Structure 1
Amino acid sequence: MKLKFTATLASGVLLSLSTGVFAQQKLVNPAVDAAMQTASADEIKASITYLADDKLLGRAPGTPGFQMGADYVIGKLTEYGVKPAGENGGWTQQVRFRRTFAGKTGSATLTIAGKTDSIKYGNDIFIYPDPVHQVVTSSGQLAFAGYGITDKQLNYDDYAGLNVKGKIVVIVRGAPKSFPSSDASHSMDLITIQKNAAAHGAKGVILAVGDSTARPILPNPGRRGTYSIMDEKGVPVVSRNYFGGVEMLAMVGYKTFKALAATAGKNAGDVVASIKAGTPMSFPVNASVSATADFSYQDIAGFNVVGKIEGSDKKLKNEYVVHSAHLDHLGVGQPIQGDSIYNGAHDNASGVSSLLQIAKIYHNLKEKPKRSILIVMVTGEELGDLGSGYFASHPTVPVKSMVADVNTDMPTIIAPLLSVTALGAEHSSLAAVVDKAARYMDMTVEPDPEPEQNRFVRSDQYSFVVHGIPALHIKYGARTPDGKNNLNDLVKVWRAKYYHKPQDDINGMFDFDAGRKYAQLNFLIGYVVANDPQRPTWNKGDIFEKN
């Protein structure tokens, strides 16, 4: 005999608990369930087909193809009764991109034990592009600060006992192998590294290649340009590499790192092994560096698309659950197998199509949830989560009114959706919501199967997290219908053939019914949050609690 009781979570939302494993849940009432059934695999296919068509030329930000994609989603959102929630009562939020390129000059010298030698700029050292200063010059004494991490929760500090005030810190980018995947991803983010260095008094940061097998010539990002978002006064407000609190962010190769470690009597390989194992090994370096470089700019106009579904509660309708997805892709680029249009069918026409189905579900739901819903199609994700970074920091609603973000990026709908990974949910009360929603849909929730991919910081949910808003990103799990539970093997095959390639078009691998189920799950997560009288909260002591 099964014992069952029912507790009201919020108006119209019921949760049924049972002692039976995966017993049937009643997380939502019949009207909500009926609305969820209106999500359509055929419509997901139709939207992906349009958004990934060659005529949109890969939807690069600031291009006519991106505008065509935006016109399509605005038309669909209007059809589903979503109201514009952008700037000045319209659908859009303007975004000003700046692309910064390496200039024609660059030079550097390294002084070790009083001996000064030139090092080859662009091969052995480079300075990251600076969107503010067309010429960057920096010099100073060096100190090695491990991974450059200070994480009190995990009791790890590379700066403990190390004086870096006024110095340039040398960092190996990474994290101890014991770190949870999302903590590791956040810790090795370039902005996080620079902020922590500046907080300890450093004037600059040099990233050192810690892998002795790496290519000897550095991959200078200034050759193709890096992107930032600027305000009306030309001040960068969002960037994945520029932080104004330090003079310079640079990189050196393994050969230089090995020489610097030797000045302190250290072996570079032993140093990397130690910090990887979780034992900090920071030390002063008997060396100084001087470097200079120039840069050039290209400014591009872009925009986000923002819509609103108004909540039903007089008070809570002024708070928002955000459903986000990036509308942009890579545009036209290097030809592969004779094709140069990077259509972005999976990445991220599939995610945008999911949000459109979420809007459709709400359209078919007579009683809306207590909180309002924002549907946000952002630009510039492929440039470094820039459009979402701008929206999270400069939203078209009061910033403190956003209670959560449920992000949708490349769900990889290539097989039946039986299990999911909720990237980032483990940091907040959203984890419990995901568990309930997944059980309702007869799915299981799994840990991140590929922590080395650093997916947590590589998509738009991270922009909300760093601004203090609990967020998550639902990805596929490993379960398969045959019980082998090896979907990751198929994903690796898919990634090698399609990811960030022109071959990611409508003719690739798809399971559109998995897309329908994915949209339903994301809707359900957002719906439960929108009805809960309590806002989502960070776990006590979590790394993101005080962001």
Structure 2
Amino acid sequence: MRIPNRFAPQVLIVAVAVAIAACQPAPAPTAPEPEPYDASAGADARRIEADVRFLADDLLEGREAGRRGHDLAALYVAQRMRATGLAPAAQDDQGQRSYYQSVPMLAATREAEGAALMVHRDGGDVALAFEREFLPDADFNAAEARVTAPMVFVGQGVHAPSLGHDDFAGLDLRGRIAVLFNGAPAAFDTDRRAFHASGREKLRELAARGAVGAIFVSTDAEDARSPWAHRADNWRRPGMRLRGADGVALDTFPQLRVIARVSAAAAPRLLDAGGHSARQLFADLDAGTLHGFDLPGTATLASRSRIEPVQSRNVVGVLPGSDPALAAEHVVFSAHLDHIGIGAAVDGDSIYNGALDNALGVAIMLEAAKRLAQSPQPPKRSLLFVAVTAEEKGLLGAEWFARHPTVAADALVANVNMDMPVLLAPTSDAVPVGIEHSSLQALVEAAAAKIGVTLSPDPIPEESIFVRSDQYAFIRAGVPSIYLVGGYQGRDGIDARAINGAFLREHYHRPGDDASQPIRYDDAARLAHLNAEIGQRIADAPERPRWNEGDFFGEMFGRGKVPEGRALNEDGKPPSGQETRSPGDS
């Protein structure tokens, strides 16, 4: 998006005013007086549009976590929270109440010089081309890393004995480089498939079995959905991980000295050996008949990264509960404030504005907060509103908040997350991803019925989106969660599903996701109303939400449960002997 010159001075004046206002001394930890609520027709839609146009402006440079554009966005959101009547719900370094929760991270940027992926076989050495055929993951533990080792193909790297599936059966990974496909078996139910498709879980399994490196190979189907060229275009963009008090990256796997990604087009150069072929392995994957084997030859992986500390922040406001018996319990609304910043130019535009992803989600959350702050029936439980940072870097802001909540950890009773509502066509529905997992379902259905919103099922369960946005950080902390997105049932004969699909193909994580799109702010206002009604019902329910009996995520992560190999110390780091390395592009 480009700013018309006639608007640039006004935008700069507003930005400076917001920054000055938000930098004033923090108010007392009580809700400030909210600005008057304009309930006239369309006022809610206009407020949402104003927020989106500011947050998705070129001035904010794509709101990349840890960069000045995101800092300005955080200042803006804090001021909007204050004007709405939310009290600051975090603490600054001096222990004073603040809207800002610091999130310490490390940024690692790949460097082309020194990167290598070479296959050594009897017929000679084969070197894959950097960027065009392979990319190493950014390394958060070593500026330079190199490993040469035998290879072993491990299917999709899934160990699920309860489902009778083990890609590692009969294979020795010790001292070897694991070669694998993404995803999880199609025969798994949606929940287990989502969990086992996680890059974090795959790398954890590889490290536990003694692997020294990993190569993820894309398939033709993957590259058709998300072209390798689009992913490789922005290899210079830094990756990020949370940083512990000792300055070391958290949630990384140092045993895996180099992790690399290979395009589907280059897969035969790696996999065509010993009677095997990439084409046949792709077919075996589709048929569910994939098996592991020792891959002939050895491989050399090398990477070089520039590592630097980065500081970003979550923005946290609270609407205190009205019932003394329930006010200590908190419902958490979340929406990620960051996007992916400045990157490779497309048609001369290099700013990735992130209007739908996720300026619109933040604006909807702010409007829901405004509705709730003005409710004639003040919610009984307290409501936290968190604009989290670094979702695009791996859910890092939400992960930090879930590990270090600004209230007691057991006081978090539910999470309602909003991420990238694609509202480009008039619709009559919304999609509450994950309602089937907990008692939140009845509350969400009642809220939708009151407002007149149809609830539709997840249209792409195979994409496992329930574990791909910030709600997953809360789920891993044992908090029942839902993820609200826009619907796909078009009104007036419009094919909303096709329009949404075109956005995902052409503008998702591209400069074209800007405020010039025909965003349906009336539908956004309806979604904000639904958010507010859901929050009110959770806050006023006699009992806190609970996971359904036998639910996979409840069994895996429910309060008081620590899955094997996943315990964390107070600082969020694994216990001694369970060191981990980067989850890659999970």
Q: How far apart are the structure 2 equivalents of 1:535 and 1:152?
A: 30
With 396-405 and 128-137 compared, the bigger mean Cα shift is at 396-405
Residue type at the aligned position of 1:471: S
* Counterpart position of 1:235: 248
In structure 2, C-alpha distance between the alignment counterparts of 1:188 and 1:434, rounded to whole Å: 28
Name the CA distance, whole Å, in 1 between partners of 2:222 and 2:68.
Answer: 43
| CA offsets 1:110-162 (integer angstroms, 9 cap, x no match) | 344x6763534626555322111112233433222111112356543322343
Alignment partner for residue 170 of structure 1, among 179, 188, 194?
A: 179
* Alpha-carbon separation, structure 1, partners of 2:345 and 2:487: 32
Equivalent of 1:56 in 60, 63, 80: 60
Deviation at 1:369, TM superposition (A): 2.9
Q: What are the within-5 Å matches in structure 2 for residues 295-310 of structure 1?
A: 295-310=305-320
> Given that residues 182 and 423 in structure 1 are in contact (C-alpha distance below 8 angstroms), is that contact kept between their aligned partners in structure 2?
no
- What's the offset of the Cα at 1:406? 0.9
2:372 touches 2:536 (CA, 8 Å); kept in 1? no
Distance in 2 separating the partners of 1:54 and 1:405: 31
Separation in 1, partners of 2:255, 2:323? 43
Looking at structure 2, the residues matched to 222 and 480 of structure 1 have their Cα atoms a distance apart, in angstroms, of: 37
Superposed CA RMSD = 3.3
Cα distance in 1 for residues equivalent to 2:144 and 2:233: 17
2:144 corresponds to which residue?
135
- Give how far 1:187 is off: 2.7
Paired amino acid for 1:402: L
Match of 2:521 in 1: 512
Match of 1:99 in 2: 107
**Is 1:450 matched with 2:460?**
yes
1:407 to 405, 410, 417: 417
Counterpart contact for 1:419–1:479, Cα < 8 Å: yes
Counterpart for residue 323 of structure 1: 333
User: In structure 2, how many angstroms separate the alpha carbons of the residues matched to 1:60 and 1:203?
Assistant: 32
Paired residue secondary structure (2:62):
helix
CA shift, 1:257, in A, is: 5.0
The residue type paired with residue 156 of structure 1 is: H
User: TM-score, with normalisation over the residues of structure 2?
Assistant: 0.77
* C-alpha distance in 1 between matches for 2:295 and 2:480: 40
**Cα offset, 1:108, TM superposition:** 4.8
**Is contact 1:264–1:284 with CA below 8 Å preserved after alignment?**
no
Q: 1:465 to 1:314 in 2, by over 3 A?
A: same
Calculate the TM-score normalised by the size of structure 1.
0.82
Structure 1 pair 153–40 and aligned structure 2 pair: CA distance change class (3 A): farther
Deviation of 1:191 after TM superposition, in Å, equals 1.3
Give the 5 Å matches for 1:78-477.
78-87=82-91, 88=95, 89-103=97-111, 104-112=113-121, 117=125, 119-120=127-128, 122=130, 125-152=134-161, 154-181=163-190, 183-211=192-220, 219=232, 222-237=235-250, 242-244=252-254, 246-253=256-263, 257-258=267-268, 261=271, 263-451=273-461, 453-477=463-487
Deviations 1:297-346 (A, max 9, x none): 24332211011122234453323211011222333444444544433332
Distance 1:160 1:419, change over 3 A: farther
Alpha carbons of 1:444 and 1:132: their partners in 2 closer, same or farther (altered >3 Å)?
same
Q: Which letter maps to 2:155? A: G
> Which is further off, 333-342 or 518-527?
333-342
Cα distance in structure 2, aligned partners of 1:492 and 1:413: 12
Q: 1:194: Cα distance to partner? A: 0.3
The amino acid that maps onto 2:326 is L
Of stretches 339-348 and 218-227 in structure 1, the one that deviates more from structure 2 is 218-227
- Rounded to whole Å, the distance in 2 between the matches of 1:286 and 1:93 is 50
Q: Using the alignment, how far apart are the partners of 2:442 and 2:177 within structure 1?
A: 43
SS where residue 316 of structure 1 aligns? Answer: coil
**Equivalence map 1:58-77=2 (5 Å):** 58-77=62-81
**More deviation, 349-358/462-471:** 462-471
CA-CA distance at 1:488 after TM superposition = 0.7
Note the C-alpha offset of 1:499: 3.6
Q: CA deviation at 1:474?
A: 1.1
Cα distance change, pair 507–61 in 1 and its aligned pair in 2 (3 A): same
Q: In structure 2, do the counterparts of structure 1 residues 160 and 522 end up closer, same or farther at CA, with 3 Å as the change threshold?
A: farther
Shift of 1:258: 4.1
Q: Match for 2:450: what amino acid?
A: Y
How high is the sequence identity, in percent, across the aligned residues?
32
Q: Which moved more, 1:372-381 or 1:289-298?
A: 289-298
In 2, Cα distance between the equivalents of 1:216 and 1:351?
A: 27
Distance 1:181 1:58 in 2: 33
Q: Assess if the C-alpha contact under 8 Å between 2:438 and 2:545 holds in 1.
A: no
Contact 1:317 1:372 in 2 (8 A): yes
Match of 1:21 in 2: none
Distance 1:253 1:475, change over 3 A: closer
Q: In structure 1, what is the Cα distance between the partners aligned to 2:452 and 2:228?
A: 50
CA contact (8 A) 1:128 1:222 kept: no
* Partners of 1:36 and 1:536 in 2: CA distance: 36
- Superposed CA deviations along residues 85-104 of structure 1, whole A, max 9, x for unmatched, are 11232111112343312332
Matched residue, 1:46: 50
Which ranges in structure 2 are unaligned for 5 or more consecutive residues?
1-36, 558-586
Match of 2:583 in 1: none
Q: CA–CA distance in 1 between the matches of 2:221 and 2:74?
A: 46
One-letter identity of the residue aligned with 2:102: Q
For residues 182 and 546 of structure 2, the distance between their equivalents in structure 1, rounded to whole angstroms, comes to: 32
One-letter identity of the residue aligned with 1:473: Y
8 Å contact kept, 2:415–2:471:
yes
Determine if contact 2:490/2:497 at 8 Å carries over to the other structure: no
Which of 535, 542, 545 aligns to 2:552? It is 542
3-state SS in 2 of match to 1:307: strand
Cα deviation per residue 1:235-258 (whole Å; 9 max; x = unaligned)? 1136xxx43453332234557754
Is the CA contact (8 Å cut-off) linking 2:103 and 2:242 kept in structure 1? yes
Q: Relative to total residues, which structure has the larger strand share, 1 or 2?
A: 1
Distance 1:230 1:216, change over 3 A: closer
- Residue type matched to 1:433 in 2? L
* Contact 1:177 1:277 (C-alpha < 8 Å) held by counterparts: no
CA offsets per residue over residues 408-464 of structure 1, 9 Å max, x none? Answer: 122123333411222233333333433332233222222222345554344222232
Residue 528 of structure 2 aligns with an amino acid whose one-letter code is: A
Q: Does 1:490 align with 2:499?
A: yes
Structure 1 residue runs without a partner (length 5+): 1-34
How many residues align structurally?
508
